[in-house]
Structure 1
Amino acid sequence: MTAPQIVWLRRDLRLVDQPALFAAAESGPVIPVYVLDDERPGEHRMGGAQRWWLHHSLASLDRSLRERGSRLVLRRGDAVQELCRLAEETGAKGIHALHHYEPWWRKAESELAGRFELHLHDGNYLVPPGTVRTGAGELYRIYTPFAKALRRELPSLEPLPEPQLTAPAKWPRSDRLEDWRLLPTTPDWAGGFVEAWTPGENAAKAQLEQFADHADRYADERNLPSIEGSSRLSPRLHWGELSVGQVWHALADRSGAGVDTFRGELIWRDFTQNVILAFPDYQTRNYGEAFDRFPWRYDKGEIRAWRQGRTGYPIVDAGMRQLWQSGWLHNRVRMIVASFLIKHLLVDWRVGERWFWDTLVDADCGNNAVNWQWVSGTGVDTQLFTRIMAPLTQSVKFDAGDYIRRWVPELADVPDRLIHDPPAGTYIPKIIGHREGRERALAAYRQLRTG
């Protein structure tokens, strides 16, 4: 019998438009494998919310594979060692995988290629990161010219069909998913996740179809947290339950400002991968080195209040409670809560980045770091630090009343004219006034500029 091919899965948990799986299936029997490697990412090992999603997505993928006469093999440990060990056990002649661009996975791919026949395929992004370059051959550091160049070079993105899988003569040993203990035990903080999400490829396809039907309204509705105007596809793309090519293709026959705006956000996702490709330590270091001298504050009580959604600003608190209870946060509100932490509380952006990393089901290395550095004014393509969002103004502008009532139920009966800034005695007091926070932030920035 033909020697089997191993397919190394990471954030590409799907059967359709999966180039590594498709290529392996054309070469012989396929052994799909996921290795839980908690050591390589170092301090950026998967957070609790990601682990919850991973458990359910792996279970869903295994069910789909078994329906097709295959199965998912699970191993835990160093990814390179486990894959080489599995290849020796099974007599596999090749390992197929999709390129991943987190610095720890790039290192693992390099090590594995030096020890075994590794076939790397593109398929997680619109174009392979690193291929869209300036006329001087450099990686873009500004989004707008990058987006224009990418659109010129964009391939057809016709999704690959689901492959026909052949099982190996003998299946290797596999861990039990339950033994990995990816799910919370006591207390079970993920109850709201179950209400908000159904991980897996089938649910992802259904969500894409639902979004495509109203994508033309996206530009108008995406900033309004009180309505379901977001695509909610970010965890699907992060975990690879959908390919970005599938999403782009689903909108191919649609046009208008909403669709074009959403396509721009898919391109931003590519842009952030190019940033971490160029700067592998972007999650932990200021791109603007001058901010290494910034007079950050670390008030533990204020940081705790921000995390728990008890700052006294209803829009901020609603966002942080939505994040904790559902593992996701509305895009406009992400910017508001990030700006509040950095500008009003003068807390280093890395504190927020780590909290999002632990609590978001869609916590992506590139998106998370680039977006936090964008808000903080420390990044490659960034807003100025002096742009300080006013939470109360933002709440009114984007009509967040019903959003606040849902996530801050103690304000459920407050009328529209008071909901954004409840009077004293109606809600917990603000931990800092907006004007006071703004002036303190500007003073700190002036201190940085004057040395």
Structure 2
Amino acid sequence: MRTTICLFTRDLRVHDNPVLRHAARADRVVPLFVFDETLLQLPFTRPNRIAFLLGCLRDLRRSLGEAGGGLVVRHGTPAIEVARLVDEVGATEVHVAADVSAYARSRENGLRLALAEHGCTLHVHEAVVTAHPPGRVTPAGKDHFAVFTPYFRRWVETPPRRIAAAPEALRMPDGVRTGPMPAREDLCPGALSPELPRGGETTARQQMLRWFEQGVADYDEGHDDLAGDATSRLSPYLHFGCLSPVEIVARAGRSEPERAFVRQLAWRDFHHQMLAARPGCSHLDYRSRGDRWRDDPEAFRAWRDGRTGIPIVDAGMRQLSREGWMHNRARLITASFLTKTLYLDWRLGAQHFFDLLVDGDVANNDMNWQWVAGTGADTRPNRVLNPMRQAERYDPSGNYIRRYVPELASLPTAALHDPRRMDPTERDRLGYPAPLVDVDEANAHFRNTRGRS
């Protein structure tokens, strides 16, 4: 009887999972997840993401159990643990999803070398984490697109892979020890954001169905409305692979709102293909601008804690702290404020986002930060978002600010949009800080400084 191992990584689902589908063609299959001792070290692991991950794994174990299987849990180095399980169950094949980070590539190479010594074949499946795998959509004579618009045109024209049906039945070898699911505190102690989403494919699919039935119709006009929050909130489930981007694209119709939503999925693929081509961009400038970033720990702490005195910036940072998630428009505003108004290194902001975001993803997080900082793929690298104008445009009622900066809830909307309109005495009474900088002067200083670089 032929036995295979399905190694789950960032594909924690049973629907449209080519890794599981191909592995399950064997007589017996062992679904496996390894708590990677390297990834459990800083800076990769944070409480919010570990809590969400454990929810995903518990849900995956239930789904596999309903099909007659289970989820084996191991701790250690993936190559060592997988090879050990190969020997335990007599597996001849291991199936795993491709990924783009430098560490994922190193893990894949380690698996391939270790399994070769055990006479076992490694099968790596593409288009599991993204809709189109890096390298599938490329310009003539180059390994990746550096500008989104031409990439998106080619991306839309590229046929997707076929959706893989969920296995109807799974059979595991007798006597395989599945192992207990660890407690979050044992893996990553520390405080959690109080309003984290619930992890798992079951919740993800429910949310996806509600989105297509009720939410997406307003997406093209409302996706930047901060108070309305007319976004899918599917990004954490995409990051952990609880949802298939291929299936989401297939479910989307041809209406303008749905096309606008699909465009955001293409942005996700765009960043993955950039990082796949340039793995060092997780910590190095994709396009250096000669920046000499300021060193101002107090300003960074004020930004991190939502105490800059600029209400729209503080609202975004407090949403991140409370929910482990932030509205995309707020991500742009807060990132622009850090890198261009305060002129602090984008890597500081990227690390803080990575510390808290449930959807913290090396490709999307770091490449989006570089886009905003002007060191990435933005064709207008010196553009600066004025937070006051952004507040007036995307939070016209001031309700987003009131939701996340409640001490200002009684103030008139004009004062929420522009802190220069706040009465200093009232501001002090409310315990809210004065603006950290004069925004107009700081933005002008950035333009002059970047222009001389």
Secondary structure of the 2:6 match is strand
Deviations 1:267-295 (A, max 9, x none): 1111111101110111100122343xx22
Q: Is the 8 A contact 1:216 1:259 kept in 2?
A: yes
Q: Could you say which residue in structure 1 is the equivalent of 2:409?
A: 412
Q: Is the 8 A contact 1:159 1:249 kept in 2?
A: no
Q: Is the 8 A contact 2:204 2:237 kept in 1?
A: yes
Q: Could you say which residue in structure 2 is the equivalent of 1:215?
A: 216
Secondary structure of the 2:172 match is coil
Shift of the 179–325 alpha-carbon distance from structure 1 to 2, 3 Å rule, reads: closer
Secondary structure of the 2:219 match is helix
Q: Would you say 1:316 and 2:316 are equivalent positions?
A: no
Name the amino acid aligned to 1:388.
V
Name the amino acid aligned to 1:148.
R
Q: Shift in Å at residue 8 of structure 1?
A: 0.7
Q: Could you say which residue in structure 1 is the equivalent of 2:248?
A: 247
Q: Could you say which residue in structure 2 is the equivalent of 1:444?
A: 449
Task: Give the distance between the partners of 1:79 and 1:212, measured in 2 at CA.
Answer: 37
Q: Which residues in structure 2 correspond to 1:132-151 (within 5 Å)?
A: 132-151=137-156
Root mean square deviation of aligned Cα: 1.9
Q: Is the 8 A contact 2:35 2:76 kept in 1?
A: yes
Q: Shift in Å at residue 419 of structure 1?
A: 2.2
Greater alpha carbon shift after TM alignment, 111-120 vs 346-355: 111-120
Q: Which residues in structure 2 correspond to 1:20-419 (within 5 Å)?
A: 20-39=19-38, 44-116=43-115, 117-122=121-126, 123-155=128-160, 157-172=162-177, 174-178=179-183, 181-182=186-187, 184=189, 188-193=191-196, 197-213=197-213, 214-251=215-252, 254-291=253-290, 294-379=291-376, 381-399=377-395, 401-419=398-416
Give percent identity, aligned residues only: 34
Task: Give the distance between the partners of 1:413 and 1:200, measured in 2 at CA.
Answer: 39
Name the amino acid aligned to 2:59.
S
Task: Give the distance between the partners of 2:239 and 2:296, measured in 1 at CA.
Answer: 33
Name the amino acid aligned to 1:50.
R
Deviations 1:221-255 (A, max 9, x none): 1001101311101111111101001211221xx23
Task: Give the distance between the partners of 1:156 and 1:258, measured in 2 at CA.
Answer: 24
Shift of the 414–38 alpha-carbon distance from structure 1 to 2, 3 Å rule, reads: farther
The count of residues paired between Structure 1 and Structure 2 equals: 437
Shift of the 286–42 alpha-carbon distance from structure 1 to 2, 3 Å rule, reads: farther
Shift of the 36–334 alpha-carbon distance from structure 1 to 2, 3 Å rule, reads: same
Task: Give the distance between the partners of 1:162 and 1:27, measured in 2 at CA.
Answer: 12
Q: Is the 8 A contact 1:376 1:385 kept in 2?
A: yes
Task: Give the distance between the partners of 2:271 and 2:231, measured in 1 at CA.
Answer: 20
Q: Shift in Å at residue 133 of structure 1?
A: 1.7
Extract structure 1 runs of 4+ deviating beyond 3 A.
40-44, 156-159, 182-185
Gaps of 5+ in 2: 116-120
Q: Shift in Å at residue 23 of structure 1?
A: 0.9
Q: TM-score, normalised by structure 2?
A: 0.92
Name the amino acid aligned to 1:192.
E
Q: Is the 8 A contact 1:217 1:258 kept in 2?
A: yes
Task: Give the distance between the partners of 1:180 and 1:168, measured in 2 at CA.
Answer: 32
Q: Shift in Å at residue 440 of structure 1?
A: 2.0
Task: Give the distance between the partners of 1:387 and 1:372, measured in 2 at CA.
Answer: 14
Q: Could you say which residue in structure 2 is the equivalent of 1:10?
A: 9
Q: Is the 8 A contact 1:327 1:361 kept in 2?
A: yes
Shift of the 198–295 alpha-carbon distance from structure 1 to 2, 3 Å rule, reads: same
Q: Is the 8 A contact 1:74 1:177 kept in 2?
A: no
Deviations 1:301-357 (A, max 9, x none): 111111110000111000000001100000011000000000111110011111111
Q: Shift in Å at residue 258 of structure 1?
A: 1.3
Q: Shift in Å at residue 411 of structure 1?
A: 1.1
Name the amino acid aligned to 2:139.
T
Greater alpha carbon shift after TM alignment, 323-332 vs 76-85: 76-85
Task: Give the distance between the partners of 2:66 and 2:60, measured in 1 at CA.
Answer: 10
Shift of the 395–179 alpha-carbon distance from structure 1 to 2, 3 Å rule, reads: closer
Gaps of 5+ in 1: none
Q: Is the 8 A contact 1:221 1:229 kept in 2?
A: yes
Name the amino acid aligned to 1:203.
T
Q: Is the 8 A contact 1:52 1:182 kept in 2?
A: no
